[in-house]
Structure 1
Amino acid sequence: MDKLILGRYIPGTSIIHRLDPRSKLLAMLIYIVVIFWANNMITNALLLFFSLFSIWLSGIKLGFFLRGVRPMIGIILFTTIFQLFFTGGGEVFFHFGFLQITRVGLNQAGIIFMRFVLIIFFSTLLTLTTTPLSLADAVESLLNPLKPLKVPAHEIGLMLSLSLRFVPTLMDDTIRIMNAQKARGVDFGEGNLIKKIKSIIPILIPLFASSFKRADALAIAMESRGYKGGDGRTKYRLLKWKSIDTFAILVILIIAMLLFILKKP
Structure 2
Amino acid sequence: MFWDGVKPLIGLIFFTSLLQLFFMTGGKTYWQWWIFTISSYGLVNAAYTFIRFTLIILISTVMTVTTMPLEIADAMEWLLKPLKIFKVPVDKIALVISIALRFVPTLFDETLKIMNAQRSRGADFNDGGLVKRAKAITPILVPLFIHSLETAIDLSTAMESRGYRGSSGRTKYRVLNWSKYDLISLFYFIALVLLLLIFRNH
**Matched-pair contact (CA < 8 Å) for 1:84–1:101:** no
Match of residue 173 from structure 2: 236
- Alpha-carbon distance between aligned partners in 1 of 2:98 and 2:118, rounded to the nearest angstrom: 31
**TM-score, length-scaled by structure 2:** 0.82
Match of residue 5 from structure 2: 68
The answer for unaligned runs of 5 or more in structure 1 is 1-63
- Partner of 1:213, secondary structure, is helix
One of 93, 107, 110 as aligned partner of 2:32: 93
Match of residue 136 from structure 1: 73
Match of residue 158 from structure 2: 221
- Alpha-carbon distance between aligned partners in 2 of 1:220 and 1:76, rounded to the nearest angstrom: 43
- Alpha-carbon distance between aligned partners in 2 of 1:156 and 1:111, rounded to the nearest angstrom: 34
| Structure with higher helix content | 2
**Matched-pair contact (CA < 8 Å) for 2:111–2:144:** yes
- Partner of 2:34, secondary structure, is strand
Per-residue CA shift, 1:189-213, capped at 9, x if unaligned? 2122221221111222222221122
Whether 2:193 is the aligned partner of 1:256: answer yes
Q: Which moved more, 1:69-78 or 1:194-203?
A: 69-78
One of 47, 51, 69 as aligned partner of 1:114: 51
The Cα of 1:153 is off from its aligned counterpart by 0.9
**Matched-pair contact (CA < 8 Å) for 1:136–1:157:** yes
Q: Which amino acid aligns with 1:95?
A: W
The 5 A counterparts of 1:169-184 are: 169-184=106-121
The 5 A counterparts of 1:40-59 are: none
Per-residue CA shift, 1:52-97, capped at 9, x if unaligned? xxxxxxxxxxxx422332123345456x27944995533473436x
Per-residue CA shift, 1:100-126, capped at 9, x if unaligned? 455455654553343233212111211
Whether 2:145 is the aligned partner of 1:208: answer yes
User: Which stretches of structure 1, 4 residues or more, deviate above 6 A after TM superposition?
Assistant: none
**TM-score, length-scaled by structure 1:** 0.64
Q: Which amino acid aligns with 1:210?
A: H
- Partner of 1:200, secondary structure, is helix
Identity, % of aligned positions = 47
One of 119, 125, 129 as aligned partner of 1:192: 129
Match of residue 96 from structure 2: 159
Taking structure 1 as reference, are residues 204 and 143 closer, same or farther at Cα in structure 2, changes over 3 Å only? Answer: same
With CA pairs under 8 Å and 6+ residues apart, which has the higher RCO, 1 or 2? 1
What is the count of residue pairs matched by the alignment? 198
Taking structure 1 as reference, are residues 169 and 101 closer, same or farther at Cα in structure 2, changes over 3 Å only? Answer: farther
- Alpha-carbon distance between aligned partners in 2 of 1:77 and 1:181, rounded to the nearest angstrom: 33
Alignment root-mean-square deviation, CA? 2.7
- Alpha-carbon distance between aligned partners in 2 of 1:197 and 1:253, rounded to the nearest angstrom: 43
- Alpha-carbon distance between aligned partners in 2 of 1:112 and 1:158, rounded to the nearest angstrom: 34
**Matched-pair contact (CA < 8 Å) for 2:21–2:45:** no
**Matched-pair contact (CA < 8 Å) for 1:83–1:108:** no
